[in-house]
Structure 1
Amino acid sequence: MTVYLLGSRGPEVLKIQQQLSELQFYSGPPDGVFGGGTDSAVRAFQLSQQLQVDGKVGPGTWGALFNGADVPAPTVTKESLDRQCLALTGGLETDHPPPDCFAGLSGDFDDQGMSFGALQWNIGQGSLQPLLMQMNQNHPDIVGQVFGPNYATFVAMLGETQEEQLVWARSIQDPIRHVLFEPWQGQFKTLGRLREFQDIQAESAAGIFRQALALCNEFGVNSQRAAALLFDIKVQTGGIKSWVKSQILSDFQQLDQSGDGDVPLEVARLRIIATRSAASANPHWVADVQNRKLTIANGEGTVHGNYYHLESQYGISLNSGFR
């Protein structure tokens, strides 16, 4: 069952805010982020309609807001598993839900010039340029429309050396805040929201997804949630070291075949993978990495203030089988 609540984000939340605003329950900016103001507005609306006052927009509250309509599931829940995993990790990387995670954009804060897309491909490592070049090669008319008068400059940049590309990227952003100047900021955001460029991002991430599935087979986990966890590990930390794999498999042997108490065996194994892989990260980031990985292993949690529920928000369940 789809439920929108504190920490939810996306176009459906924006629709809720707009309707609450029209009904004069919400006075904040409609931004697609279910924060405290939206929570208060939902509770006030529920009270006025004699509904259960819990701040959650499920079937009852959605139906009351929208003339009996069914609560819609996010569009990404209808996508293929690889696309869902990309959107989830993209959301964790950029703090934005789909489709905006595909348009995640940051400047030179890490000396990479510019990072863009769900997996933050960047100029400094040479990972972003191939995606931009492929988009321009496949869809020059669309790219031309997006960048308008800046299109010639954009194309010229793609033909320059990497050092020249870094200089260019730094020239179109604030050197202190590392935020791109307009109109470049808006133009790249527009590019990232296009299905054509999202397809290119998915193609670029396909190899990582296959490696994640191979790790699933290696560890004997076969749920959609397992694929999401191993994909996220591959993206964030590059994989799992051999000595960590040994620790994980050793921990597996200590588990009862039925799981860990009331926890299914699959979830117990995913928690071990999450905890062991996080422990091998940079000591400064272990707690943050572990929280992110356990959120995926458990199917829900809060990361950087954003609430994630894998099945209702992304369509990623504990069901077995990769599709």
Structure 2
Amino acid sequence: MDQLIAQIEEARVRLRAAFSAAAGKQDVQQGIQKSLQDLADLQGQIELAGVMNAAANVSALTSILDKAIAVVRYDISGFLVEDLKALRQRVSGVSVPAGEVVPPQPFPDTNPPAAGGTLPAPGGNGPVAAPVIVTTPGVGTPQPANPDRPVISLSPSGLRRVNGPVVIALQLALIRNGQAIEPDGDFGGITAGAVQRWQAANALVQTNAVTESEWVKLTGCPVPSLFDLCLGVTSDFEGTKFDRVVGNFDDQGLTFGLIGFTLVNGELKALLTRIEALKPGSVAIAFGALYPELMTVLDLPGAQKQQWANTVSFGPNRMEVAEPWKKAFLRIGSFPHARRAQMERARSVYWEKALGDLDRFVPMGKPRTDLDAAFWYDTSVQNSLSANETQLLSTAGATSLTGPALRERFSQVIANGSLGRWQDDVLKRKRTFVGGTGTVHGSAYDLAAWGFADRSVSAADLAAPSSIIDLVSSGTSGWNEGTLGPDAEASEGPAVEGSSPAPVLVGNSAHAGWALYPKFVSFVDGLGLRSITADELLFLGAQNESGSCHGLNTYPPEELWPNIAPTAAIVDKLRNDLAQPVHLLSIYRSLAYNSCIQGSAAHSQHMQYRAIDFVMDGGNPISWSTKLKTYRASGMFRGGIGVYRGFVHVDTRGSDADWTG
């Protein structure tokens, strides 16, 4: 499978070069653009089905290359045709004689157009609407080329704060490293404070920015790709985030999600189809009793879609969506796999289109910068270019203009081609990419804080996949997708209740004799916790000190240490928010110790070093657990909350569970 994916990427490189060579030949460029889209669709098939359909995948790629060879032709670029033929031979094992073009074979329409696809019944397997975009595999995380360059930063006062998927990825990484914050995608003061605490804990200079080297250290992932940065700006301009839906303000029916997937043009249906394919039944779960009506609406003709949308839209300019539809879209947008689906489509459809437009209108040989890429990505999402606009843009690109001057010319052309009521909005939006500053929807932007510097970009930068999609789509959800009810941990009340809390040690630690103690202290210090100490997290439990379970517990194995970070962060935040001391009763348990404790869960989260049982000096278990549930509802963590007569259990298992012991 990896070899075939590499061959697909090689085909993309060859076809993009051919696209540039075919400047002025619109029919050829359109054919190449179709081949690029077919490649993106095929990659999605391969990522989903793996090697099970290897023969069909090879046949499909061979067919795409046959079509591409016929489109490019020798009069466009003989050497590119030969390159494509050589690639085809490696794929299929069948050579193509020089000067001969293999007749194109029908390409199976495994991905029907969005407007004609179908969503399956709950629990069924749906058609694939978009390919999976996966971060490039490799051993270890590559070190950044510019370690001191800021990735993103806190915007100066009065300017729009950085928002979007890159910030969510940062926030989720901070949570995993001991900072309990809400992953709301907004780089404001709270997130900046968490960054500074993490920087201080790791002996780094405290700033309001995250550099490339800090990003790699904090997330364990490569720095955000150019696509990731462009997506951040355009998604903020669109204003719908991952989970917001707006009404029929622009005659597009409903508009939902990260870059505004609309009902009328079929994009909403394509997105929901992909979400369903990733997790069958999730669309029905999110929409509940509305599901049958939704299925009917998605297949209506355009005019009827608008009529229906008007019935659920209200307020000034029909921007708002009535309940319970608004809540249903909010729910599905909060699912982590729905985030993945949105980022996939944002790249496979709109980024590919943007790259084609960049090749078409900024010919090879002219300088290309991150702002050029951002300009054309925003255009691919916001604007449909007419034949007249395309001609005017091509003419502008053929002039000697470059950089900001060329982007200004492009901005004028695209704005003038828009509907009258949107021309001012389009012009302001596009001009923000001219020099990196501007005002959009009343908010002032400086794209330097968003990671843009009008710096040159390479072909590798343009081809790089998302480096944050796995992190963003592994995040927590504000909606409970787990089972709330009795839990195996619920029987532990008598075993823990009445235990002595972890002592507050002064001076030499009782744990100093443990060989890994200095390393554990360094690990906890690196989390930037404000109150909880390393010694508290090493408390072995009161029953380990005497009685039948004496001496059975051990210190947590090093490979489990990262598990306690998000749980400790939650309890640390609780301690600071409620301004009450917290006493830890039970944290890590070895298998022998857990088995000895009467009533303990056989697979207790304590054995994975993910759980903390605690008491507080003020309040009661109900008030403590209520606060924890607000944290969980905001997306800070997913896990269990157990309420007992004298203490509370909290863990970060990754799925939600509530119980009373």
CA pair 266-160 structure 1, distance change in 2 beyond 3 A: closer
Q: What are the equivalent positions in structure 2 for 1:154-303 lying under 5 Å apart?
A: 154=294, 169-174=309-314, 178=318, 179-205=320-346, 206-218=348-360, 219=362, 220-239=366-385, 240-250=389-399, 252=401, 265-303=402-440
CA pair 118-31 structure 1, distance change in 2 beyond 3 A: closer
Which residue identity is paired with 1:186?
Answer: K
What RMSD in Å do the two structures reach over aligned CA positions?
Answer: 4.1
Shift of 1:228: 1.0
Shift of 1:242: 0.7
Give CA deviations for 1:46-83 in whole Å, capped at 9, x if unaligned.
xxxxxxxxxxx989xx859x9785435499x9433223
Secondary structure, in 3 states, of the residue corresponding to 2:445?
strand
**Does the 8 Å CA contact 1:8/1:33 hold for their aligned counterparts?**
no
Which residue identity is paired with 2:274?
Answer: Q
Give CA deviations for 1:183-225 in whole Å, capped at 9, x if unaligned.
3213312323444223323333323322322332331342222
Tell me which of 53, 65, 82 is aligned to 2:227.
82
Q: C-alpha distance in 1, partners of 2:233/2:431? A: 14
Q: C-alpha distance in 2, partners of 1:273/1:113? A: 29
Normalising by structure 2, what TM-score? 0.35
Q: C-alpha distance in 2, partners of 1:134/1:63? A: 38
CA pair 280-182 structure 1, distance change in 2 beyond 3 A: closer
Name which of structure 1's ranges 111-120 and 136-145 shifts more when overlaid on structure 2: 136-145
Secondary structure, in 3 states, of the residue corresponding to 2:399?
helix
Give CA deviations for 1:220-274 in whole Å, capped at 9, x if unaligned.
342222111012223322234213321342352xxxxxxxxxxxx5333333333
Normalising by structure 1, what TM-score? 0.65
Q: C-alpha distance in 1, partners of 2:369/2:335? A: 30
Which residue identity is paired with 2:275?
Answer: M
Tell me which of 118, 130, 139 is aligned to 2:258.
118
Which residue identity is paired with 2:391?
Answer: S
**Does the 8 Å CA contact 1:7/1:33 hold for their aligned counterparts?**
no
Which residue identity is paired with 1:308?
Answer: Y
Find the counterpart in structure 1 of residue 160 from structure 2. 8
Shift of 1:295: 0.6
Which residue identity is paired with 2:354?
Answer: A
**Does the 8 Å CA contact 1:78/1:315 hold for their aligned counterparts?**
no
Greater RCO, 1 or 2 (C-alpha within 8 Å, sep 6+):
1
Q: C-alpha distance in 1, partners of 2:424/2:294? A: 40
Q: Which runs of 5+ in 1 are unaligned?
A: 16-29, 39-56, 95-99, 253-264
Find the counterpart in structure 1 of residue 236 from structure 2. 91
Give CA deviations for 1:280-313 in whole Å, capped at 9, x if unaligned.
4345543332221111121222212223233422
Q: C-alpha distance in 1, partners of 2:357/2:321? A: 38
Secondary structure, in 3 states, of the residue corresponding to 2:438?
strand
Q: C-alpha distance in 1, partners of 2:185/2:342? A: 25
**Does the 8 Å CA contact 1:300/1:309 hold for their aligned counterparts?**
yes
Q: Which has the higher helix share?
A: 1
Number of equivalenced pairs: 270
Find the counterpart in structure 2 of residue 257 from structure 1. none
CA pair 309-167 structure 1, distance change in 2 beyond 3 A: same
Percent of aligned pairs sharing the same letter: 23
